[in-house]
Each structure stands twice: as C-alpha cells, then as structure tokens.
Chains A and B, each alone.
Chain A
Amino acid sequence: MNGAEVILEDVSKFYGDVLGVNRVSLRIPPGITSLVGPNGSGKTTLMNLMAGLIHPDRGSIRVRGIPPQEPERLMRITGYATQYDAAPRGMTGFEFISSLLALHGHSRARAAELASQSLQRVGLGEAAHRKVAGYSKGMRQRVRLAQALAHDPEVLILDEPLNGLDPLVRAETIEMFRGEAQRGRHVILSSHVLQEVDIISDQVILIANGMIAAEGQIRSVREEMREHPAQFLVRAKDASGVASVLFKEDHVTEVRLSEDRQGLLVHTRSREAFSAALTRIALNGHPIESVAPADESVDALYKYLIGGESS
C-alpha cells in the first residue's frame, strides 16, 4: 500500500522564524482528501511540500513512493493546481498548456491534442485560443486545473480548486474529482468551504497553526468528536434557573446565557450525563422547550478543533 500512498513523516517547515507546518505525519490513501483549515494554517505549505515547490526542514515525504527531490519522476505522476492567480504573459490557454506538455517529452501534435482535451474537460474549449490575461478569475482557475490535469496524473493536488467557479462549473468539477478518485487516483484538495468538504471528501485532514488537528474519514472524525466535550443549545423560559442547576453538575464545564435570557449554550464532558440531568431538571419543574446539539455539523467540529474561523 505504501507505494500507492502519499506519506509525510514528521515533516516540519519554517519560513525563517515563522512556522509553516510542524511535525506533520500523514498517510493519504487514494481517493478525495481534503485539507481544511483557516487561512495561514499550513494547507498551501503542505501542498507545496508534496509537490516539491518547497523543501522540508525536517522529515520526509513520498508521493506514491517518489520523493519530491526527484521532480523528473514526481511531476510525471503529479499535477498541481496552485492558488497563485498567474499565468505566463501573452500566452493563450492552449499555448500555456501545450508548452508545458511539450516539456513532458510529447511531440508537438500530441501536446496539442492533450492540451485541447484538457481544456475541453474544464469547459474552456471555446476560450482555448484566447489570451489568459483576458480570462475571468473563474477561467484562470480552470486553466490552472486544466494544466494540472493535462498529463493525466495519478496524484492531483489542488489548492482551493473550487474558488471562483460558478455553481454549474463547480458541480461539474466536483464530478470530475469523483471520477478521478474512482480511477484510484489521489485527489488532494484544500478548501475552507466546509460544506464542500463534507460532500465530496473520502477523508479529511483538519489543520490548524501548522499542525494536524484531526484526520481520517469524515465519519471517523465525527466519531472522534464524541470523545471530546460537546455543546448543546437549550431553550427554556426559566433559562437562568436551568443554568443554576446545570452549574452544579460535575460534567458541565461551561454554561452561557443568551441575550434574551431564554437560551443556554452548555459545554459538557458527557452527553449521557447531560441527557440525564436535563430529564431531572424537567421533572423538577423547569420546562425545557428544546435541546439541540450545537456542534453536530462539520462546521462546529471544525470550529471546535481548530478554534478559528470557518470561512
């Protein structure tokens, strides 16, 4: 399996005194893997490390068995769409992609054929012979995607690939990722739009402050959450009374009263004990209008794990 995985072992990267990523160890199997984290969390650093655009200060990386120090081999099986919104000046989309394909050793005719196919795949067939400088942001995003896909790589690394795409193209692009994953390919993408991650990922890696906060299949990450304190939103007319009773419970770590004084945000270390306590409170004459988990969504999980912004 090692040969078919992307493996990072104890990888650290610093930019001078600034931390990029710290002691990251990951094994990424084929399929769609999402790196999720707020801006500056280290997602792009991880992707650049995998593609060999930067070098780790410590640790080692293998992309399907190939170290990034061997770009000659690595870039034959890897396609990377960076988030840098730039393309060589004065080139059309077609020229840009076919010229890069020529560096793979393809003949001019074959490079032209592959470039056309790739541009068609991302819906830029008609704009292929227009200058990239005249493309919209979404088109520039797609031409970078086309460049990453053009040589049919086994590992696709895509930094915020859905940014700037309209809903229809976004849906088509996601479908394309799924197709690649079904072919046994790696699709490693970064996003901070959590709903997208939830929908398309086979596995998710949550990253914050350059460190991995959680990783695994999206379901298992949720399970992991169960072992951590939970949050509940409680609505009750006598919210202050409920709060005072809950405060006495050992498993409750924090209670916050809402501004209208009819709602509570409760942090508890035990879902079961919290449930039993609520039953007791209700039976003791404090009517409870509703109880809802505040951290059931991925968004809440994300907020909990990395304590940062979610968009």
Chain B
Amino acid sequence: MTPLRLRQGVTLAWLEARRAFLSRRSLWVYLLALFPAFVFFMHGLNVKIQKDRLSARGVVSAALVDSVREGESEGEVIARLGKPASDFAFDRRAKRNRALVRRVEYFDGSRRVTLTFSNGVLESRRVRTIVNLDEDRAVFAMVFQNFYLRLAVFFGCLGIFVNLFRGKMMDKTLHFWLLAPLRREVLLGGKYLAGLLAASVIFGLGALLSYRIMLWQQQPSELLAFWQRHGPEHAFSYTAAAVLACVGYGSVFLATGLLLRNPIIPAAVLLLWEGANPFLPPMLQKLSVIYYVQALCPVVPPPDPDMPAILQLLFSPANPPSKLVAVAGLLLVTAVVLWLAARAVRKLEINYSTD
C-alpha cells in the first residue's frame, strides 16, 4: 500500500463516513443503537421513582427487615420496624373462615419487603429487590445478544454497508467514485473503512451507553465492588463485541451490496441463519458471525424459559471458542468475504438502467 493509496483510502473513508453519520437515512440506525439505552434508562427511571417514593416514607435498616420471622405478632413487628411505607388492611373470606388481613411495606434502601399479617400474626414475608445488579446484568446480556447483536447491529450494518455501493447505484452517483484515480480495491477498502467507522462508533458507543445506564441506579456499594472486579472488562467486552459484529456483518453486507441487485433476500436468509445459530449442528454454527461475537460477551444469558419444548430439544449451542480464536475467526471470515468483494469490485460496471 503506497502512501498515496493510503491517503486516498482515508480521504474516501472520511467523506463517506461523514455522510453515513450525518445523513437523514442514518436516523433509524441511531434509533436502533440507542433503543437498549432507552429501555435501561426507563428501567432506571422507574427504579429511581420507586426509591424516591419509598424513601420519602422512611427507610429501615436491612438488619431489622431481616430480623422479622413468620409467626411474629403484628404489634411486635410494627413496634420494632416503625411506621411502614405503606399500610393496607382488608377482610379475607375463604369458605366459612374470615380473617382480618393487614399488609404493610418497608423499604431498606434497595429491597421492598411486604409483610402480610392475618389476624395479627405474620403470615408471609415477601422480599422484592428494586434493583439487583446480577439480575440486571443477566437482562443486559440477554438484550445485548438477542436484540442488540442479532437485530440492531445486523440491521444497522445492513443499512450502512449496503448503501455504500447499492445505495449509490440507486442514486446514480456511484460512477463519480469510479471516475477518481483510485484502484478499485482502494475504493472498496475506503468504503468499508467508512462504514466500519460509522457503525463501530454508533453501535460501540450505543453498547457502552446502554451498559452505563444499566448501572445507573445500582446500589453504590455493590456497584463499586463490581466495578473494581469486572466492570471495565465487561464494558470493554460488550463494546468490542459490538464493534466486531460491525466488522463481520459489515463485510457481508458490503459484499452483498456489490454482488446482488436486491440485498433484502440474502439479508433475510442471513438473519434466519444467525437467529437459528444455536439450533444448528456445531460445525455449521461456526459459519456465522454471531458464533464468534457471542464468545466475547462476558455474561451468558439464561435460556428462555418460555422456549417451546421442541426447540429446547434442538437448542444446543456449540462450545464457544476462546476470545483469541473468536477474534481471529471473525477476522478470517471477514478477510475471505472482503477478498470476494474485491474480486467483484474489479468487475463492477455502471449500468444504472438495469439497477
């Protein structure tokens, strides 16, 4: 690569990336990238509202809440814990039995404890954590793998990378690039770099932002402990996974836009293939982008409990590769796809009337 070619590639990448970042067409890509951040923000907001509401009515210590045992009398418990955050009494009639039920709620700063007394005796004690880091991390892993990687990054890359050639063909402006003194391979490389820059920044930052927002309302002590142990590594892993997904999907969609007139059908097939990945034989699972990208995710999402039995039988995710193998494998797949794209771009012709 001569310095001039390098400069040409960078110039082209910058010109195209600017358009990818700023065009009106990119609006929905931003929406896709920011959707998980929005969901976690709404969740955080809900947690904050609940915390503020319950805190305003008084916070009891966690030790006091934990000291309550079933069978204790209503008077003892109320005297020990103080005025509850909420208090509700009603008559319960079951068959011929009639009971006076009182349900009170306490808040210890992170947990919401509901105590139900029946005829003055503690019948049940239910503890709900308003915010739970482990639970939220598992939800994040699920959202990240099932929505962000499989749908948001997938469709975002489809929009960005297909537009680099096919979109320009539709606009009848592709020939301007071919009239520049560029090797076709430099044109391809520059465009890929532009798409990668745009997609990586949008989806990488989208992942990072979602992760940060997910941690927003966590308990400070728990958050600090997590951040000191795994926090930065996990945040980096998610960002890297998003960027690597852009690397892989980007190359596939760039080639698709070059090789095929209508990229929608192959995109639908690929979406199906990627979605069906854990149900495929292990060998075939390796022929996908998601297989390698998932290996970089730090948390394995719990299996969907609502999955139909027949699918549960078929569900057999292959052992994930090591991170090094995952990155190398993805880069290898990308290199092969880009090599095919380079062959296609050399033969590329401008024939707008048929496109």
Using CB atoms and an 8 Å cutoff, list the residues of chain A in contact with chain B. Answer: 15, 48, 51-55, 71-76, 78-80, 82, 84-90, 99-100, 102-105, 147
Contacts and interface: CB of A to CB of B under 8 A. Distances in A.
Interface residues on B, range: 20 to 34
A152 to B, nearest CB: 13
Given A90-B23, A104-B180, A15 B351 contact: yes
B175 interface: yes
A115 B27 CA distance: 31
Nearest to B5: A72
B184 interface: yes
Interface stretch (B6-14, B82-90, B290-298): B6-14
Given A71-B178, A89-B23, A99 B15 contact: yes
B306 interface: no
B182 interface: yes
Given A72-B186, A80-B179, A88-B176, 16 more contacts: A15-B354, A55-B347, A71-B178, A72-B181, A74-B181, A75-B181, A76-B181, A78-B179, A79-B179, A82-B175, A88-B19, A88-B171, A89-B23, A102-B15, A103-B12, A103-B182
B8 to A, nearest CB: 6
B182 A71 contact: yes
B4 interface: yes
Contacts of A79: 179
9 contacts: A72-B181, A72-B183, A75-B179, A85-B172, A88-B19, A90-B19, A104-B180, A105-B4, A105-B8
Contact of B181 (A84, A86, A103): A103
Contact of B180 (A75, A88, A90): A75
B180 A100 contact: yes
- The residue among B181, B186, B351 with the most chain A CB atoms within 10 A of its own CB is B181
B135 interface: no
Contact of A48 (B23, B171, B181, B350): B350
B304 interface: no
B11 A102 contact: yes
Nearest to A69: B346
Contact of B173 (A71, A88, A105): A88
B172 A84 contact: yes
A73 B179 contact: no
B349 interface: yes
Contacts of A99: 15
Contacts, number: 77
Given A86-B173, A105-B4, A52 B181 contact: no
Contacts of B8: 103, 105
Contacts of B15: 99, 102
A71 B183 contact: yes
A226 B15 CA distance: 56
Interface string B195-229: 00000000000000000000000000000000000
Contacts of A80: 179
A187 B122 CA distance: 98
A100 B172 CA distance: 16
B28 interface: no
Contacts of B7: 105
B352 interface: yes
B180 A53 contact: no
B348 to A, nearest CB: 9
- The residue among B15, B186, B352 with the most chain A CB atoms within 10 A of its own CB is B15
Nearest to A53: B350
Contact of A72 (B171, B175, B182, B354): B182
A73 B181 CA distance: 6
A146 to B, nearest CB: 13
Interface in B323-342: none
Contacts of A87: 173, 176
Contacts of B19: 88-90
B133 to A, nearest CB: 45
Contact of B350 (A54, A74, A100, A105): A54
B240 to A, nearest CB: 32
Given A48-B350, A54-B351, A84 B175 contact: yes
Contacts of B173: 84, 86-89
Interface string B1-38: 00010011001100100010011000000000000000
A89 B349 contact: no
Contacts of B179: 51, 53, 75, 78-80, 100, 147
B183 A86 contact: no
A103 B11 contact: yes
A117 B260 CA distance: 40
Contacts of A105: 4, 7-8
Contact of B349 (A55, A78, A85, A103): A55
Contacts of B352: 84
Contacts of B176: 87-88, 100, 147
A53 B181 contact: no
A81 B178 CA distance: 12
